[in-house]
């Protein structure tokens, strides 16, 4: 299985267009050892030709152009994207669907019924796309049953319910339901290895921990270093936990959990522009390096 990281930033990317925090300002001035990041999305293939896109970010056009297998140019209108899986209905994971409206047939989109509800009511992108080629919706169950996707050769998918927040426009915003946020186990039946992908994660529940323990590679929420990170920068008084993200550095945080795992390769994704780990020379980044935890970057390749 080949995994290509199209985007590794949180909402707004890095630098964020209107942000002058320390990280964003230093990136623009060239005084930080770091690289720009688009908004989080990955693509996975079992054969190197047909690709499953996980989340369609607002940066999808640039991301497709950055990775030639997604635009193989075999005919006048073409794409290597065979289907799209949505982990949630957040703006930074779904707006790219509008940009991809010129597809020559309905997109095969896989998501839970909760996400489908958001995408047809509070944020009705699916309704909007009906005026173009439309969407073939395939319901993803939240009972942890497996499913396959045509053209995704040798790959088996399992949706894993996660505790996080539903979007502000969702009817479930303050009363989340199963399916508002899911991670995915993607298993390669040839190598018998699997990836666990969870770009948004508020609580590491016992069933989630089991998936993490048994993964060969983990791509997990790396949004913030501290729970009050946004307040520290004078950006927002909201805690990360209130936005559905578990910080890295606190007791019981993502870093502590990842350190306890022996088997998997551990990689952080969906990194907010305020997070000090974006600075490759920061003490926070050194702590991750010393713990064997990687920080993802746009264009990163993983093969398992």
User: pLDDT tens digits, residue range 242-293?
Assistant: 777 999 999 999 999 999 999 999 999 999 999 999 999 999 999 999 999 9
| Predicted local confidence at residue 191, as pLDDT | 97
Half-sphere exposure (Cβ direction) of 294: Cα atoms closer than 13 Å:
13
User: pLDDT tens digits, residue range 127-145?
Assistant: 999 999 999 999 999 999 9
The number of folded domains in the chain is 1
Cβ pair 227, 243 in contact under 8 A: no
Return d(Cα 149, Cα 283) in angstroms, integer.
Answer: 43
Distance of CA 143 to the CA centre of its chain: 21
- Taking CA atoms, 5 is separated from 9, 25, 80, 102, in Å, by 10, 25, 15, 23
230 or 4, which is more confident: 4
Q: Produce one character per residue of 101-139: b if its CB has 16 or more CB atoms within 10 Å, e if not.
A: eebeeebbbbbbebbbbbbbebbebbeebeeeebbebee
CATH number at residue 208: 3.60.15.10
Q: State both tokens at 46.
A: 């079992």
The arithmetic mean of pLDDT across residues 181-191, rounded, is: 97
| pLDDT over 70 percentage in the chain | 100
User: pLDDT tens digits, residue range 18-59?
Assistant: 999 999 999 999 999 999 999 999 999 999 999 999 999 999
Q: What is the mean pLDDT of the chain?
A: 96
- The range of the structural domain enclosing residue 14 comes to 2-303
Cβ pair 13, 74 in contact under 8 A: no
């Amino acid at each position: 299985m080949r995994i290509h990281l199209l985007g590794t930033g949180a909402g707004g990317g890095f630098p964020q267009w209107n942000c002058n925090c320390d990280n964003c300002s230093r990136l623009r001035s060239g005084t930080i050892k770091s690289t720009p990041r688009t908004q989080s999305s990955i693509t996975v293939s079992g054969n190197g030709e047909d690709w499953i896109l996980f989340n369609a970010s607002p940066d999808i056009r640039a991301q497709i152009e950055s990775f030639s297998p997604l635009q193989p140019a075999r005919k006048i209108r073409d794409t290597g994207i065979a289907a799209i899986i949505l982990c949630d209905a957040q703006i930074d994971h779904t707006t790219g669907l509008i940009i991809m409206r010129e597809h020559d047939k309905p997109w095969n989109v896989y998501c839970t019924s909760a996400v489908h509800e958001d995408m047809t009511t509070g944020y009705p992108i699916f309704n909007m796309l009906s005026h173009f080629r439309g969407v073939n919706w395939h319901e993803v169950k939240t009972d942890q049953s497996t499913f396959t996707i045509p053209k995704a050769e040798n790959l088996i998918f399992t949706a894993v319910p996660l505790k996080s927040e539903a979007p502000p426009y969702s009817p479930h915003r303050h009363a989340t339901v199963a399916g508002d946020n899911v991670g995915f186990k993607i298993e390669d039946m040839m190598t018998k290895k699997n990836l666990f992908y969870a770009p948004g994660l508020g609580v590491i529940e016992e069933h989630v921990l089991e998936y993490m323990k048994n993964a060969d590679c983990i791509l997990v929420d790396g949004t913030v270093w501290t729970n009050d990170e946004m307040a520290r920068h004078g950006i927002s008084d909201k805690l990360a936990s209130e936005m559905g993200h578990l910080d890295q550095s606190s007791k019981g945080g993502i870093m502590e959990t990842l350190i306890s795992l022996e088997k998997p390769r551990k990689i952080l994704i969906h990194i907010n522009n305020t997070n000090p780990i974006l600075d490759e020379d920061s003490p926070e980044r050194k702590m991750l390096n010393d713990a064997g935890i990687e920080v993802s970057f746009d264009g990163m390749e993983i093969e398992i």
